[in-house]
Amino acid sequence: MRITLSFVLLLLVPATGVAQEIYWVKVLNPLDLCSEGEVSHAFVMFSGGRYHMWYTRDTGSGICYARSTDGVVWEDYPDNPVLRVGTGAAWDCAVVSRPSVLYDGRRYHMWYTGYDGEHLRIGYAVSLDGISWTKEAGPVLDVGAEGSWD
């Protein structure tokens, strides 16, 4: 009985551990977003029945926004960028890029890279609609003191 039971268990283990293959279909229509420059570092999430995408322009002027109902055809927000570089000598006055966004059911939270021409830092902004953002005054992850590893 013990031998038979072991044999049956050995037959069941491979059947439950079979990995499913995922097949991707490449859509041959590049996204035509932002009339100026190339786009990169896109972050996409599905919320409220549609896809939301925040992305970076190569101009570094800010983080842009687009939305889609199917994830293939995108509508670019007309007043991009939605998160602009800081003014004057702000810690993010040269470039803002590489957004990561989380929606908690009430607000959108964005973490992004800011650059002042010398140092890269991580910033944080919050929004009710994913379009109008309020930045924290300073970076949430700053460079270390002189002589530190970073």
pLDDT for residue 33: 60
Assign 63 to helix, strand or coil.
Answer: strand
Q: Which two tokens stand for residue 136?
A: 């924290």
The model's pTM is 0.78
Query: What distance in Å separates the CA atoms of residue 74 and residue 42, rounded to the nearest whole number?
Result: 13
pLDDT at 20 over 60: yes
Bridge partners (DSSP) of residue 97 are 113
Contact 43/70 with Cβ under 8 angstroms? no
Return the domain boundaries, the chain: 38-135
The kind and range of the H/E element at 19 are none
pLDDT higher than threshold 50 for residue 113: yes
Evaluated on CA atoms 97, 98, 103, 104, the torsion sign reads negative
Distance from C-alpha of 123 to C-alpha of 142, rounded to nearest angstrom: 9
Query: Please, which pLDDT band fits residue 7 given cuts at 50, 70 and 90?
Result: very low
